Amino acid sequence: MVTADLRETFLSLVRLGIGNYSVVPMHERMDWDAIKALAGKHGLSAVIVDGIEQLSDEQRPPKIILLQWIGEVLQGYEYRSERYRKTIAEMAAFYNQHGFKMMVLKGYACSLDWPKPEHRPCGDIDIWLFGQQKEADAALLKANTNSTNKTKKFEIDNSHHHHSVFNWGEFMVENHYDFINVHHHKSNVEFEKLLKELAKDDSYVVELYGEKVYLPSPNLHALFLLKHIMIHFASEGITLRQLLDWALFVNAHRKEVDWSWLEGVLNQYGMRRLYDIFNAICIDDLGLDVHIFTRIQFEPNLKERVLQDILNPEYVAELPAGFFRRTHFKYRRWKGNAWKHELCYKESMWSAFWSGVWNHLLKPSSI
């Protein structure tokens, strides 16, 4: 349970950690173990350490706790981030040599907007190969037969919706043929077409360890990032790190996004109210400058409910064991998240329910 004092201190340290002004409240007994656990849950351990570094010696946690925390950040964030970037460069080298253009979505693209990119946690590697997912996967399998390296053999899993999955070294890769699951909501079919049209733009490129890596255009990145966050918010819940991705993206690319177009799309697909709430949290709770956002209009009570759900989710992420218990839990969560569904989609819950049933029939492993 995230208490009011813990929430206040945690958010203050997040603001400091990303370089924003904040006064950290000093409570009678600072529960650093609770702060550390909450930071880990939200993928913000490194950011909280960055915030602690801004405090006076008297405000900081005991030295033994801080040193352990810093060690975990070095190992779990900075060293891993280096391996993550090298893996992306190695993948780009393969695809470049075989005539494919590799766009990296979400994780790496988001990290470039962080004050310290190496302090954003590294998860999966999401890629878009400009519509050539099947051909690229075939090239990987062919590489298995041509390679003399027995330690790197690719096994491709095609049981998932909207992407294939394989491991490249220690990282799992999701090779997208769709950006979102088009089977779960009818509106996602139209939305996917819009994302694919934006994804034709190959003019945003960076060089990573000498290899060309493509990035989403600002308009694609903005729309996909918001859609991805809202999909997770409506179905399972999100972490504060995901919202921080959005905040730091806006801070970095506010002059490059067509905001009138973006907000028109969000209105069309029933996403505008939650978008406004997200922006309000970025300003009020994460310390972003109000002037980097367009006009802010939001419902204060709803904003509090959304933030509370992020920090104190009603439904835990871990699914219970057993088919029937898991199915029952998912149904209760689906019913309980009806209010969130209304903020993320234009169609009814029941329309989405039957689409979801069909989705599970197509991919039984997703149940």
Of 216, 251, 279, the position where a domain reaches its end is 216
**Exposure string for 146-169, b = 16+ CB within 10 A, e = fewer:** eeeeeeeebeeeeeeebbbebebe
With respect to residue 68, please indicate whether it lies within any of the assigned structural domains. Answer: no
* Site of tokens 């002059």: 255
Please indicate, yes or no, whether residues 228 and 358 belong to a single structural domain of this protein: yes
Residues whose CB is less than 8 angstroms from the CB of residue 247 and which lie 6 or more positions away in sequence, other chains included = 282, 286, 288
Cβ–Cβ < 8 Å for 288, 299 = no
Please indicate, yes or no, whether residues 227 and 208 belong to a single structural domain of this protein: no
With respect to residue 110, please indicate whether it lies within any of the assigned structural domains. Answer: yes
Listed residue (230, 292, 295) closest to 266, CA to CA: 230
H or E element that contains 107: helix 107-111
Please indicate, yes or no, whether residues 169 and 247 belong to a single structural domain of this protein: no
Q: Going residue by residue through the chain (367 aa), what tens digit of pLDDT does each one get?
A: 889 889 999 999 999 999 998 988 876 678 999 999 999 999 999 999 999 999 998 899 999 999 999 999 999 999 999 999 999 999 999 999 999 999 999 999 999 999 999 999 999 999 999 999 999 999 999 988 766 555 567 888 988 778 899 999 999 999 999 999 888 788 899 999 999 999 999 999 999 999 999 999 999 999 999 999 999 999 888 999 999 999 999 999 999 999 999 999 999 999 999 999 999 999 999 999 999 998 788 899 999 999 999 998 876 666 667 776 766 666 666 566 788 899 999 876 655 554 555 555 555 555 4
User: What are the DSSP calls for 156-167, one per residue?
Assistant: -B--SSSEEEEE
With respect to residue 363, please indicate whether it lies within any of the assigned structural domains. Answer: yes
Range of the domain at 202: 87-216
Please indicate, yes or no, whether residues 48 and 125 belong to a single structural domain of this protein: no
Of 164, 185, 216, the position where a domain reaches its end is 216
Pairing of strands 125-128, 211-214: unpaired
**99 vs 40: CA distance, rounded Å:** 40
Cβ–Cβ < 8 Å for 10, 52 = no
With respect to residue 72, please indicate whether it lies within any of the assigned structural domains. Answer: no
Q: How many domains in the chain?
A: 3
Please indicate, yes or no, whether residues 101 and 144 belong to a single structural domain of this protein: yes
